[in-house]
Amino acid sequence: MHAYHILRAATEMFGRQPGELEASQLSAATQRAEQARALEDLVLSSTNGRRVSIPNVEVDDAVERIRQRFDDEIAFEKALLESNVTVTDLRRALWRELAFDAVMSMIGDEVEPISDAEVEAYYTDNPKPFHRPEQRTARHILITINDDYAENTDEQATLRINAIKDHLAQNPSDFATQANTHSECPSALEGGLLGHFPPGKLYSEIDQVLFTMAEGEIAGPVQTEAGLHLVLCEKIEPAAVILLEEAREKLRQHLSNKRRKARQKAWIKTLK
């Protein structure tokens, strides 16, 4: 089971098998594995842990979920072999995981439900998370600057992007088509769509322009370290306050999770 814990830690921390890790990474994964196993031992040796029962069908399902991460059965078995984990080891380790989760869920269920008054007090006392900043949907057309290519010298890039700008001045609805044809950014495949952003998420040079534009306006060229951009402000979503009724259930769940974790942490402390 210890080998499985190292395997799990390696994949969670580094997305790789233990045998593929550098020495420092393997040491970090091993340390996490030892901590996880020690915590499982502590919880499963408690009174609650000794009472828990996990049906074989749940273990079967857990094994199958892991198997589905691999291309086929051969790849699955190869990964187990390379990690020195047998199928029996895997089933035992997954039983422990399921039992651990069941005990922790049982302890979390002991807490009092979050009341409406608690939700409302948190909403009132913590206004910042419920203020949604203005957001804008942006598209762009990028022409890169690279003196190694004749068409991308500073002079030629400027001529090219200005020609696109002149076309869009007469045909603004062609922005996505022009992006698909001319833009040298992967976003060209989606008509230059960058996405939906609050301030501070894009290149600062684009950000400063985008958040002064009117909806539907095209601006540029804007120069960044990536090159020259034409920017379309496609949609503006004004800043808004998220009302209590919109936030109530998500906030209740958030507070409930915090309370459950605090209870679980306190219970584990009593075991130690």
Q: Cβ of 87: how many Cβ atoms within 10 Å? A: 11
Band (84; pLDDT cuts 50, 70, 90): confident
State residue 1's pLDDT score.
57
* Global pTM value: 0.65
Question: Does residue 26 have a pLDDT over 80?
Answer: yes
Question: Does residue 57 have a pLDDT over 60?
Answer: yes
State residue 80's pLDDT score.
87
Q: Cis before residue 221, ω within 30 degrees of 0?
A: yes
> Which of helix, strand or coil describes residue 62?
helix
Q: Yes or no: say if 143 and 182 are a contact pair by the CB < 8 Å rule.
A: yes
Pick the CATH number of 134-238 from 3.40.50.300, 2.30.130.10, 3.10.50.40, 3.40.50.1980: 3.10.50.40
Task: List Cβ neighbours of 260 (8 Å cut-off, separation of 6 or more).
Answer: 108, 109, 111
Q: Which of 196, 181, 213 is nearest to 139 (CA)?
A: 196
Q: Yes or no: say if 43 and 104 are a contact pair by the CB < 8 Å rule.
A: yes
Q: Yes or no: say if 175 and 229 are a contact pair by the CB < 8 Å rule.
A: no
Q: Which of 170, 41, 53, 46 is nearest to 102 (CA)?
A: 53
Q: Yes or no: say if 205 and 230 are a contact pair by the CB < 8 Å rule.
A: no
Q: Cβ of 228: how many Cβ atoms within 10 Å? A: 24
Q: Cβ of 14: how many Cβ atoms within 10 Å? A: 16
Question: Does residue 85 have a pLDDT over 90?
Answer: no
The three-point CA angle 174-179-184 to 5° equals 165
Q: Yes or no: say if 226 and 144 are a contact pair by the CB < 8 Å rule.
A: yes
State residue 69's pLDDT score.
87
Average pLDDT for 142-153: 93
Task: List Cβ neighbours of 257 (8 Å cut-off, separation of 6 or more).
Answer: none
> Which of helix, strand or coil describes residue 223?
strand
Q: Yes or no: say if 84 and 17 are a contact pair by the CB < 8 Å rule.
A: no
Q: Which of 170, 165, 173 is nearest to 143 (CA)?
A: 165
State residue 28's pLDDT score.
95
Q: Yes or no: say if 124 and 36 are a contact pair by the CB < 8 Å rule.
A: no
Amino acid in the structure at residue 147? D
Taking only the tens place, the pLDDT of each residue in 107-133 is 999 999 999 999 999 999 999 999 999
State residue 264's pLDDT score.
97
Length of the chain in residues, anyone? 272
Q: How far apart are CA 161 and CA 231, in angstroms?
A: 11
Q: Percent of the chain beyond pLDDT 90?
A: 86
Taking only the tens place, the pLDDT of each residue in 229-244 is 999 999 999 999 999 9
Domain boundary assignment for the chain: 2-109, 134-238
Taking only the tens place, the pLDDT of each residue in 239-270 is 999 999 999 999 999 999 999 999 999 999 99
